[in-house]
A and B are shown apart, each in its own frame.
Chain A
Amino acid sequence: MILFDQVSKVYRGAAQPALSNVSLDIQPGEFVFLVGSSGSGKSSLLRLMLKEERPSAGSVHVLGQDLRRIPARKVPIFRRSLGVVFQDFRLLPQKTVFDNVAFTLQVIGKSQGFIHEAVPDVLQTVGLASKAENFPHELSGGEQQRVAIARAAVNKPAILLADEPTGNLDPATSAGIMNVLSRINASGTTVLMATHDAGIVNHMQRRVVEISKGRIVRDEHQGGYQTSTIPLGEADTAPTPVQSEDGATTTPIRQRVDLSVDPDEVPASFPWELRA
């Protein structure tokens, strides 16, 4: 379904490769989490799958096609079998929910009849049947992301790529989004989701692929977010070494924070008037 064979990607002017020697095989119907810190190469991986970038070395096969062999004018046709969801939803603000989803089908030339059948159907799937005539700004963040998922799924893609779809949402709403993605996965669509959300990954217990500095460092079925190589607590709270001007590397000293003072409380001696 998706096959990366020793893929490297070096962006022009970058010292470090964004991906180096990545090999990955994803089977039809899988639900795969892609985890790793910011800048680890998750987005590069997704962009390579969309043929938005070409690999510097190695080959990418998606849906049985070698992406290097797809000519530029055939790329749009190829993308019709992929759905994509982003962290920032990317809805069209002047179109209703229905029109946002229908837009996808209009621009690939589907008939009006098909649109009027498929759009309500997919809105039902994501649980937004009652909001079809609302505009994006009238919806909550979770609802907007559901619209984006509906848009990605309306054409029944074989693969759904989600780039941090819950990044802007609270845990309860995220759970709802995950339900929707699971339902889409259950209907046969392969889902690949890049995320930072440890809670979701731990809860779902699906395949987890972890990337660090452009390499796959872990690929386990039914895995959790936390890695064995870097203990989460240390990695997240340890002070980052800084380089001073003379080139020497020093580690900042941890300073004790006085936790007894509430940062939101305005001291009585505060010099100017804040009260309304």
Chain B
Amino acid sequence: MRIGFILREVATGLARNASMVVSIVLVTFISLTFVGTAVLLQSQIGEMRNYWFDRAQVAVYLCTDFSTLGGCDQQEATTDQIRAVEAQLESASLSPYIETFYFEDRQMAFDNFREQFAGSAVVDLVSPEFLPETFWVSLVDPQQTDLIFEAMAGLAGVESVVDQRSYLDQIFALLNAGSITAVAVASLMLVAAALLISTTIRLSAFSRRRELGIMRLVGASNRFIQTPFVLEGVVAALAGAVLASGAVWAIVHYFVRGYLVEALPTTVFIGYDEAFAAMPILLATGVILAALASYASISRYLRV
């Protein structure tokens, strides 16, 4: 009986403020879509980090005839020097931290280069002599790159030691900036949504002030009076959150899976699992925000 009564009140309230309710739905929809985008970007960063951090290696570049950096003097690394590096990597002090390493000679480096930049004009400008011989080192713990830097930096014939993760860090910084922007836009819009909800609820309370006055007079409990208004806000925001969840799914389906995966086949991308994981966050944000905003708004009407 009471539940039926409350639900009827919610339905009348929503119908009476239809245009305001539509604007709540739209604003929460858009703001939560931004929140969803931020969540997807974070998942994407996590995904790439997992993928690449296991595969990322430390490259020990050896000297070429053209290199002037490090211990090089425009002198190609000699066989003895290469042996010395190899011995160092196999030594008792380093080997416990190294999972595997392998040596890449000029021809292999050139082949990889041509494969990686296939179709680009730069391929024609490069010949094997320009590319350094390299030891590719995989670490047991990818964080412990300092060990390799220390052991290799002073050796003769070693031009430079590069941690591939430093390239990834730039990409992550870019993606992070994107997700921070999305969160910033989302929070502004969520503030707008909260204000819109509280205004709408106040309007709704105003249009029912006779009923409210009588309810207070005859002793309806505050919770009984508040519930329909809080539900009104929650229903509208929930509709927006459901639309935003749909938008997040659409972003993954049409943009990530439908376009990015084909455009950039070598990169890992998030899938539907991440989209579904984002949805509860959006629904909860929408519902909690609306409940708080409408509760605060209606409570001002009910102060004794």
In the complex the two chains form, what is the Cα distance from A210 to B202 in whole Å? 40
- Of the 9-residue stretches A68-76, A222-230, A257-265, A266-274, which lies at the interface with chain B? A68-76
Expressed in whole angstroms, the minimum distance between the Cβ of A62 and any Cβ of chain B is 13
**Are A108 and B304 closer than 8 Å at their CB atoms?**
no
B1 within 8 A of A: yes
B266 within 8 A of A: no
Expressed in whole angstroms, the minimum distance between the Cβ of A90 and any Cβ of chain B is 7
* Binary CB contact string for chain B from 174 to 215 against chain A (1 if under 8 A, 0 otherwise): 000000000000000000000000000000000000110111
Asked if A77 meets B221 with Cβ closer than 8 Å, knowing A72-B304, A106-B5, A111-B1, the reply is yes
Asked if A51 meets B304 with Cβ closer than 8 Å, knowing A92-B211, A107-B224, A111-B1, the reply is yes
Known: A108-B218, A108-B224. 14 other contacts (CB 8 A): A50-B217, A72-B303, A76-B221, A78-B219, A79-B219, A80-B218, A90-B213, A104-B218, A106-B2, A107-B5, A107-B215, A108-B219, A111-B1, A151-B214
Other-chain contact of A75, B210, B225, B304 (Cβ < 8 Å): B304
A135 within 8 A of B: no
A182 within 8 A of B: no
* Binary CB contact string for chain B from 1 to 40 against chain A (1 if under 8 A, 0 otherwise): 1100100000000000000000000000000000000000
Q: Which range holds the interface residue count of chain A?
A: 20 to 34
Mark out the residues of chain A between 72 and 115 whose CB falls within 8 Å of any chain B CB in the assembled complex: 72-73, 75-80, 82, 84, 90, 92, 103-104, 106-109, 111-112
In the complex the two chains form, what is the Cα distance from A106 to B216 in whole Å? 13
Please, which residues of chain A bring their CB within 8 A of the CB of B225? 107
A59 within 8 A of B: no
Asked if A80 meets B1 with Cβ closer than 8 Å, knowing A92-B210, A92-B211, A107-B224, the reply is no
Expressed in whole angstroms, the minimum distance between the Cβ of A108 and any Cβ of chain B is 6
**Are A90 and B1 closer than 8 Å at their CB atoms?**
no
Please, which residues of chain A bring their CB within 8 A of the CB of B303? 72
What are 23 residue pairs bridging A and B, where the CB atoms are less than 8 Å apart in the complex?
A50-B217, A52-B304, A72-B303, A72-B304, A75-B219, A76-B220, A76-B221, A76-B222, A80-B219, A90-B213, A90-B214, A92-B210, A103-B211, A104-B214, A104-B218, A107-B225, A108-B218, A108-B219, A108-B220, A109-B2, A109-B224, A112-B1, A151-B218
Expressed in whole angstroms, the minimum distance between the Cβ of B138 and any Cβ of chain A is 65
**Are A77 and B304 closer than 8 Å at their CB atoms?**
no
Please, which residues of chain A bring their CB within 8 A of the CB of B217? 50, 79, 84
Asked if A155 meets B218 with Cβ closer than 8 Å, knowing A75-B304, A109-B224, the reply is yes
B interface residues, how many (CB within 8 angstroms): 19
**Are B219 and A77 closer than 8 Å at their CB atoms?**
yes
Please, which residues of chain B bring their CB within 8 A of the CB of A50? 217
Please, which residues of chain B bring their CB within 8 A of the CB of A73? 221-222
Which chain A residue has the least Cβ–Cβ distance from B223?
A73
Please, which residues of chain B bring their CB within 8 A of the CB of A79? 216-219
In the complex the two chains form, what is the Cα distance from A80 to B215 in whole Å? 10
Please, which residues of chain A bring their CB within 8 A of the CB of B210? 90, 92
Other-chain contact of B219, A76, A111, A112, A151 (Cβ < 8 Å): A76
Please, which residues of chain A bring their CB within 8 A of the CB of B214? 90, 92, 103-104, 107, 151
In the complex the two chains form, what is the Cα distance from A269 to B183 in whole Å? 80
Expressed in whole angstroms, the minimum distance between the Cβ of A80 and any Cβ of chain B is 4
Please, which residues of chain B bring their CB within 8 A of the CB of A109? 2, 224
In the complex the two chains form, what is the Cα distance from A112 to B3 in whole Å? 13
**Are A107 and B213 closer than 8 Å at their CB atoms?**
no
In the complex the two chains form, what is the Cα distance from A37 to B304 in whole Å? 28
In the complex the two chains form, what is the Cα distance from A108 to B225 in whole Å? 10
Please, which residues of chain B bring their CB within 8 A of the CB of A92? 210-211, 214
In the complex the two chains form, what is the Cα distance from A155 to B217 in whole Å? 13
In the complex the two chains form, what is the Cα distance from A73 to B299 in whole Å? 12
**Are A107 and B304 closer than 8 Å at their CB atoms?**
no
In the complex the two chains form, what is the Cα distance from A165 to B2 in whole Å? 31
**Are A107 and B218 closer than 8 Å at their CB atoms?**
yes
Please, which residues of chain B bring their CB within 8 A of the CB of A82? 219
Please, which residues of chain A bring their CB within 8 A of the CB of B216? 76, 79
Expressed in whole angstroms, the minimum distance between the Cβ of B295 and any Cβ of chain A is 15
Please, which residues of chain A bring their CB within 8 A of the CB of B220? 76, 107-108
Please, which residues of chain A bring their CB within 8 A of the CB of B215? 107
Q: Which 5 A-B pairs have the closest CB atoms?
A: A79-B219, A80-B219, A107-B220, A76-B219, A104-B218
In the complex the two chains form, what is the Cα distance from A18 to B133 in whole Å? 98
Expressed in whole angstroms, the minimum distance between the Cβ of B204 and any Cβ of chain A is 16
Mark out the residues of chain A between 1 and 56 whose CB falls within 8 Å of any chain B CB in the assembled complex: 50-52
Mark out the residues of chain B between 217 and 247 whose CB falls within 8 Å of any chain A CB in the assembled complex: 217-222, 224-225
In the complex the two chains form, what is the Cα distance from A130 to B238 in whole Å? 46
